Structure 1
Amino acid sequence: MKTTCFTLLLWLTITAAHAQNGTEVYLLDLSEKAGNVTLSNPRNVSNKPGYDNQPFFHPTKPLLYYTAMMPEGQTDIWSYDLRKATRTPVTLTPDSEFSPTVLPDQTHLSCIVQRKANGDQDLVSYDLTDTEKTESLLESKKTGKIGYQAWLNADEAVVFVLGTPNTMHYLNRKTGRDTVIAGQIGRSLHRVPGQRAFSFVQQVGDAWLVRSYDPVRNQVSDIATSETTSEHYNAWLASGTLLESRGSELWAFSPKTKQWKAITLPADLPRKKLSRIAVHGNHLAVVVDE
């Protein structure tokens, strides 16, 4: 019975991008003053029917990476140039690439590669100057099928591993350490600004909590509650303000007041369900249902 349930879960995960409604990636201007977040000028930067998701900003270049479903049904990584307003494919392969993440060296992009041949989901690095050059960072046959990732430096990362329950692993490539830190986690993994720590969302009893993991102390701490009925997608502002999407709304958690506050959204942003969020400087990217 357990094998049957796991097989069903795996099949549902692999086919999720095909089965779910189409989504678009919107880019907005962002400012924060006295703890108040202001968003303006929304524009659709993916702008095609189907699945466009998982935005990630390059930390020093005016580029936004995202996952785009192609007519053949597989997904590739694309980039959007914020200055030129142009879209460019980064990967064009028979396999499916998900969860683009610029590595700390800023010259490589890691992503999840879902193998067409057997459904394995491996963590792979692409050289941004020549995407034909790849390196396998983590094989799912060793760890389990990987869904998402966040990096602290060139050696340390946390990854979301599919299972019953889904778990967060801490990886240290230098020492070879692979440790399960938490179970029953959500899909939003991030580095906490100004800290040597990761944030994640975890179900604890009937509640969902945004928590942090400090690998030096091997310590998990609570940051905030997460709306129980939301999909638990977060993003951090450099100031330490935490954002969360809740249905068609965005909320902000202040590290000073320890309170959540709804963000007023621009009138010209479609009133659809919002999900994944990415932030860099004065830009915010959010995934909006078609």
Structure 2
Amino acid sequence: MIKLKISIGLCVFAMLIGQAYGQSAPPSEPKKVDFPHTDIFLFDLDLTNSQQPLSQGKNATQRQGYDNQPYFTPDSQSFLFSRGDDYQTDVYEYALGTGEITQITDSPATEFSPTPSNNNQKIAFVSDRNGGIWLADRADANHPKWLLESIDNREPVGYFALNHDSKDLLYWSRYGYAMILANVQTGSYHYVSGNTPPATPHIIPNTNRFSFVHRQGNGQVWIKELDPNSKAIRPLIMVNGPNHNYAWAPDGSILMIQNDVLYRALPEQGQQWITLADLNALRIKQANRIAISPDGKKLAVVGQSAK
């Protein structure tokens, strides 16, 4: 169903989806946004099976439109994602057991990068509302709270990772392509690094540390670790390709797609990138973003059908 909603069209969302906005419509008309067509493909994942790590693949969303930024819930029973119509985006949820898709938000604003809390009762997301990152109760998802309101931080945010236990928040700012560490509870603010490509930071599994992507002065792009307590930064592994999206598996693996090939690395064991699967052979093209369920048994891939 197409909903005629008004979006202010901040350029961060053009960067998020890799597309530019169209020309502005007259003031009395809602602005139409040129969201790309993307689907979310779901696979069974078995990293112990070197011959066939991916199986039972299917197109979970399968429609003409924008379905992107999947994030699995803590119980690994569903994933949240951002779905766009011609004018804005809302948060939806896909149930793995039934394949049912449920709409979570239905507001005049946009919602990107939906991220569930540890108890799955709250959802954080990036929005074109004032202030960037918002947190909503599932029971009242259309009335979220501005996460950094206490310090009046209006910095435009593209991507983020939120530790719901420590309240540490690492986000990618459009100002100078910078990575910022803040704390929602204390209001602390720490500039981590500039020259960071637009990519989602992550909480490293079974730790309180974050990972983020950094382009060094020599042009190399690395996934690096940040300790929010000491503020120490440690390089983990170099990125070999133009795609900067990646995901952590619970065993400490990093999975990443480059040119429609899925790779895996185990940086703590000194293992560099090895090929896991050719996604073209699985009828997926232009794949870029991925997500792994907390139990390590499911993989979501964002791309298009290659027929």
Which TM-score applies when normalising by structure 2?
Answer: 0.82
Correspondent of 2:114 among 100, 107, 126 = 100
The match for 2:247 is: 235
RMSD: 2.5
Secondary structure of residue in 1 paired with 2:141: strand
Q: Which residue of 2 aligns with 1:59?
A: 74
The whole-number CA distance in structure 2 between the counterparts of 1:141 and 1:85 is: 40
Contact 1:146/1:160, CA 8 A, preserved across alignment: yes
**Counterpart of 2:206?**
194
Separation in 1, partners of 2:49, 2:94: 31
- 1:111 and 2:159 aligned: no
Stretches of structure 2 that go unaligned for 5 or more consecutive residues are 1-9, 22-32
Equivalent position of 2:98 in the other structure: 84
Higher strand share: 1
TM-score of the superposed pair, with normalisation by structure 1:
0.87
The one-letter amino acid of 2:135's match is S
- Please say which of residues 244-253 and 137-146 is displaced more in the overlay: 137-146
- 2:220 aligned to which of 193, 196, 207: 207
1:24 maps onto 2:60 in alignment: no
Alpha-carbon shift at residue 159 of structure 1 (Å): 1.0
Alignment-mate amino acid for residue 85 of structure 1: G
Q: Is the 8 A contact 2:72 2:79 kept in 1?
A: yes
Q: CA deviation at 1:141?
A: 6.5
Separation in structure 1 between the aligned mates of residue 36 and residue 205 of structure 2, nearest angstrom: 32
What CA deviation, in whole Å up to 9, does each residue of 1:7-62 have, x standing for no partner? x9668548647445311111110011177870111111121112111000001251
Count of matched residue pairs: 277
How far apart in 2 are the matches of 1:13 and 1:156?
A: 24
Question: Which among 251, 254, 262 is matched to residue 266 of structure 2?
Answer: 254
1:3 — aligned with what? none
Contact 1:24 1:46 (8 Å CA) reproduced? yes
> Quick one: percent identity of the two aligned structures?
26
Alignment deviations for residues 188-223 of structure 1 (CA, whole Å, 9 cap, x no partner): 211111222001111002100000100111100000
2:185 corresponds to 1:185: no
Task: Quote the residue 2:57 is aligned against.
Answer: 42
Partner residue in 2 for 1:223:
236
Q: Once the two structures are superposed, what CA deviation does each residue of 1:101-158 show, in whole Å capped at 9, x if it has no partner?
A: 012342100001114xxxx562111111332442211359724111111122341111
What letter corresponds to residue 97 of structure 1 in structure 2?
A: E
Contact 1:56 1:66 in 2 (8 A): yes
Query: SS state of the match for residue 264, structure 1?
Result: strand
Q: Distance in 1 between matches of 2:230 and 2:215?
A: 22
State the shift of 1:93 in Å: 1.1
Which among 167, 180, 190 is matched to residue 178 of structure 2? Answer: 167
Indicate if the aligned counterparts of 1:55 and 1:277 stay in contact, CA closer than 8 A. yes
